């Protein structure tokens, strides 16, 4: 619940700089989605539905679905997105055995919260039939910006729920271990990566 409250505050901030950064983040996400033109999109850790809403408002034509562990966040997402978006409450790590497939799977600002994020690789391979769109905070700049605005000072700017810390280079390298990196647009202070599933030998 704490993470979702922070997510909502981030997206609804009245700070003009923070709003500009979030808007640029969403514009780049839209550009990456439009590049691959998927018919089906799944947002893992969709929270209150801000990312899907940004894609809808930009005119992206696709069937949208979202999954999150928080009932409270999903209730707000339903109010924001309407009934045409399929939303489910589930633990993301419990999705390894589903047979559903999506042409694009997004996971934006979630991997930094997951202990042993490698556990998500099988989930991605199970759910995705084409491309992945992933993002995480870009360290150490993300923590530095927190310190500059007096946030989490005793933790040297680190959000207490962040258990993984990637630089831009290390996150791209991490993704590249498992998938083919297509593009990584500049969305400071985050790292965003568009990747493609590797063809498996049969």
Query: In whole numbers, what is the pLDDT of the chain averaged over residues?
Result: 88
Sign of the Cα torsion 80, 83, 89, 92 reads negative
d(CA 139, CA 152): 15
Q: pLDDT under 50 in the chain at which residues? A: 1-5, 156, 202
Map out the domains of the chain as residue ranges.
2-196
Helix (H) or strand (E) holding 107: strand 102-108
User: Which pLDDT value is given to residue 202?
Assistant: 41
* pLDDT of 6: 67
Here the tokens at position 177 are 């271990």
Q: Quick one: pLDDT at residue 145?
A: 64
- Kindly state the helix (H) or strand (E) to which residue 65 belongs, with its residue range: strand 63-68
pLDDT of residue 4: 41
What's the CATH code, domain 2-196? 3.40.50.150
């Amino acid at each position: 619940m704490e993470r979702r409250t922070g997510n909502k505050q981030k997206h609804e901030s009245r700070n003009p700089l923070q709003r500009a950064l979030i808007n640029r983040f969403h514009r780049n996400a839209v550009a990456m989605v439009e590049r691959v033109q998927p018919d089906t999109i799944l947002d893992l850790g969709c929270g209150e539905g801000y990312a899907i809403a940004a894609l809808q408002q930009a005119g992206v034509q696709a069937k949208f679905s979202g999954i999150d562990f928080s009932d409270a966040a999903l209730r707000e997402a339903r109010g924001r997105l309407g009934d045409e978006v399929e939303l489910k409450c589930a633990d993301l790590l419990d999705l390894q055995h589903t047979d559903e497939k999506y042409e694009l799977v997004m996971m934006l600002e979630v991997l930094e919260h997951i202990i042993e994020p490698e556990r998500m690789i099988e989930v991605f391979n199970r759910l995705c039939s084409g491309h992945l769109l992933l993002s995480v905070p870009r360290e150490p700049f993300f923590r530095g910006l927190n310190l500059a605005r007096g946030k989490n000072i005793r933790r040297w700017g680190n959000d207490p729920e962040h258990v993984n810390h990637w630089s831009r280079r290390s996150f791209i390298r991490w993704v590249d271990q498992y998938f083919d990196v297509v593009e990584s647009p500049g969305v400071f202070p985050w790292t965003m990566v568009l990747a493609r599933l590797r063809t498996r030998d049969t």
